[in-house]
Amino acid sequence: MKTLLTSMSIILLYSFAHAQAVIYPKNWYKGVSTPLENNMFINLEDKQQFYLIANSVYIPFNISNDICSPASAKITKIDVNGNVLATFQANGSVIDSYSMRGFYTSVITDQIIYFVSWENSKFQQYGSSKGFIIYHLNINSLKLLSTDTIKGIIPESMSIISWKSVDYGGYSFQAFTYQPFKGGSIKNKIIRIKLKTAGVEYVTLDLDSLMSQKQIGINNVSNVYLKNDSMVYTICGYDSNINNSEIYQLLRIDTSLKGFSYYNLEKENEFTYTFGRVAYMDYFPPAYELNNGKVVLGSQINTYDKMNGSRIDNAGMFYYDIKSKKPEKVLIIPNSTFTLSQISYAFFAPITIKDSNIFCAAFDYYDYNTVYIDFRENHIYVGKTDTSLNGWHWYKYIGKPNCYLVPYKILATPDGGCMITAGIYDYVNSPNMQHDIYIIKLDANGIITSINNLTPQPDKSVSLYPVPAQHQLFVSFSGSGLFDLQLYDMSGKMVGSYPNLDKQTHSLDISSLASGSYFYTVKHSNGSTETGKWIKE
């Protein structure tokens, strides 16, 4: 039974500010990522003097059958304005049937430590992640220094599906969720890794066994942050003591992985905020505990009309009291001007808190199953308030014509503004689903000061022409050494393989191929790769 809160002492903080137009920045680039490059899991981390972006690059990618392998793990070092300072990429292998997903970085002395999960199952979207590869990189150039490996941290039948990470006291704490590849019971584990310039030293904690002491099961870990020398996890689960009822709680674990405590938050509270309309949570958003006994939850808020039952998804935040287990305020970004019906929060960090400022990020969509293939313009929502949720300082809608935008993470910056990483699918200029990575920088007043595309088209030494081609396809090479060329149709099926090509121009007979779009991959003798697209007429 939902508890209706109607006390007049509870303050309404819904913003009725005048409707704002969507911001269409002038300096968007048009889909310039390499053909069939699908940049996802775009994490952004604040390392004080610079920022690091860890992401996964899937090549090839086909929307008809979800082929999404092999994956490469990539890290990009940027300054506060999003300018690229250095990059490093670790590539998966089709031949060896493994791929990688980069998910977190740590910094010690003169090194950046890059944590990458590896999976050994070919052409499976989630693969079968079995462990970590730890890359030790030069802090300035990101040049590879050495690698270490952690194996056997989960059973062979399991696959890592999500992870949350934080550093403290010379250790990196990785909390990850895993389950059987074909579905089944979800498991949760924490691994504490000592941050060293070389070698591996770690211990693990089984979260499920820990919480089973209190008859509590865990379904999901929404986020993690540090508070008072402890890690705080937002947990979605169930309580065997009360008929396996759903619970939503903050779990505090000390950094020794020995002591823990928790308290529940009431998920089913309603909050009447205007004219009979009620705000509530029907999912489990990340939660962030403040220093005043309050918790901020968001950035997805559901509302409905108690008279007619109409539901609207919104971007915003709840202000929640820990002691009473009830929401006291709700702050919502108006979205009545848009036709897309659902809101989802940024995937990695929908809320960021720095000093007395809170920022939230979300995006709208029509159907969750078409988040990446919805051919409608959508919008990134971003808003700034204070730690008491005393109204919006500002809120913005950011869009790009003929594009679909998905924010991954928002971070507060020292200038009072924020930075957002976003994956952008340009369905006019990139018809095969590649996602460019953009960095959007806003200042303290919500003004966009820079937008940078981190996946520019690289200079290519191999050219295929003419485009379109009818019967013969010519291949020229401006570099040195040998290279292998493979041709693929749009389903990912290889339709031609040409090993050990050299600098002379080669002619390929393509008369037997059907008309349509194709892509190619090039692997040079020095290990570097290129990709591109061509058309058979």
7-42 confidence digits (pLDDT tens):
323 334 444 343 467 777 765 654 444 433 445 556
pLDDT at 404: 79
- State how far the Cα of 250 lies from the Cα of 231, in Å rounded to an integer: 10
From the list 280, 332, 278, 324, the residue with the least C-alpha distance to 305 is: 278
pLDDT in tens, 79-102: 877 777 888 877 655 444 456 777
Query: Bigger pLDDT: 30 or 518?
Result: 518
pLDDT of residue 182: 66
Bridge partners of 383, per DSSP, are 360, 395
Does position 177 have pLDDT exceeding 70, yes or no? yes
Amino acid at 198: A
Q: Is the pLDDT of residue 167 over 80?
A: yes
Answer yes or no: is pLDDT of 503 > 60: yes
pLDDT digits (tens, 9 = 90+) for 310-350: 777 888 888 888 888 788 888 988 875 566 567 777 776 78
Dist CA 228 CA 455 (whole Å)? 39
Is residue 216 a contact partner of residue 248, using CB atoms and an 8 Å limit?
no
- Write the CB contacts of 445 (distance below 8 Å, at least 6 apart in sequence): 394, 417
Q: Is residue 137 assigned to a domain?
A: no
Of the two residues 48 and 323, the one the predictor is more confident about is 323
Q: What pLDDT, on a 0 to 100 scale, did the predictor assign at position 361?
A: 92
Tell me how many domains the chain contains: 1
Classify residue 264 by burial, with Cβ atoms within 10 Å: 0-12, 13-18, 19+.
Answer: middle
pLDDT of residue 468 exceeding 80, the answer is no
Print the SS3 string covering 243-277: CCEEEEEEEEEECCCCCEEEEEECCCEEEEEECCE
Span of 56-70, 267-281, 457-471, 501-515 with lowest mean pLDDT: 56-70
| Residue 442 resides in a domain | no
Full residue range of the structural domain in which residue 522 is found: 462-536
- Average pLDDT of the segment spanning 410-428: 84
Query: Is 488 contained in some domain?
Result: yes
CA–CA distance, 283 with 97 (Å, rounded to integer): 36
Model confidence at 279, pLDDT cuts 50, 70, 90, reads confident
Higher pLDDT, 322 or 6: 322
Confidence check: pLDDT of 123 > 50 = no
| Whether the predicted pLDDT of 185 surpasses 60 | yes
Local confidence band at 120 (pLDDT 50, 70, 90 cut-offs): low
What is the helix (H) or strand (E) element at residue 238, kind and residue range? Answer: strand 230-239
Asked whether residue 128 is domain-assigned, the answer is: no
Residue 425 in domain: no
**What's the rounded Cα separation, in Å, for the pair 492 and 372?**
18
Instruction: List CB contacts of 68: < 8 A, sequence separation 6 or more.
Output: 38, 58, 61, 123, 125
Considering only residues 99 and 304, tell me which one the structure prediction assigns the higher pLDDT: 304
**What average pLDDT does range 131-154 have in this prediction?**
87
The predicted pLDDT at position 374 comes to 54
> Which residues, at least 6 apart from 343, have a Cβ–Cβ distance to it below 8 Å?
300, 301, 313, 314, 315, 335, 362, 363, 364, 365, 381
Residue 518 above 90 pLDDT? no
CA distances from 520 to 219, 433, 477 (A): 41, 16, 14
Predicted confidence at residue 8, as pLDDT, reads 29
**Higher per-residue pLDDT: 155 or 418:** 418
The total of other beta-carbon atoms located within 10 Å of residue 515's CB is: 9
Does 163 map to a domain?
A: no
Residues near 504 by beta carbon (within 8 Å), at least 6 away in sequence: 477
pLDDT category of residue 238 using cuts at 50, 70 and 90: confident
Residue 501 within any structural domain of the chain: yes
Answer whether the bond into residue 327 is a cis peptide, omega within 30°.
no
pLDDT at 417 over 90: yes
pLDDT band at 384 (very low <50, low <70, confident <90, very high): very high
Would you say residue 470 lies in a domain? yes
Predicted pLDDT at 125 = 41
pTM, full prediction: 0.76
Highest mean pLDDT among 2-6, 180-184, 399-403: 399-403
Q: Of 20-34, 203-217, 229-243, 347-361, which gets the smallest average pLDDT?
A: 20-34
| Residue 449 pLDDT > 70 | yes
Length of the chain in terms of residues written: 537
Residue 228 and residue 252: Cα distance in Å, rounded? 10
Q: What's residue 277's pLDDT? A: 78
Is the Cβ–Cβ distance between 57 and 34 less than 8 Å?
no
Report in angstroms the alpha-carbon separations of 339 from 10, 364, 379, 427, 458. Answer: 31, 9, 11, 19, 37
C-alpha to C-alpha distance for 459 and 56, rounded to whole angstroms: 21
pLDDT of residue 382: 94
Question: Is residue 60 over pLDDT 50?
Answer: no
Mean pLDDT of the chain: 76
Q: What backbone torsions phi and psi does residue 151 show, to the nearest 5 degrees?
A: -120, 160
Residue given tokens 């507060």 in the structure block = 412
Lowest mean pLDDT among 24-33, 55-64, 371-380, 385-394: 55-64
Whole-number pLDDT of residue 498: 92
The CATH number for 523's domain is 2.60.40.3080
To which H or E segment does residue 398 belong? strand 394-398
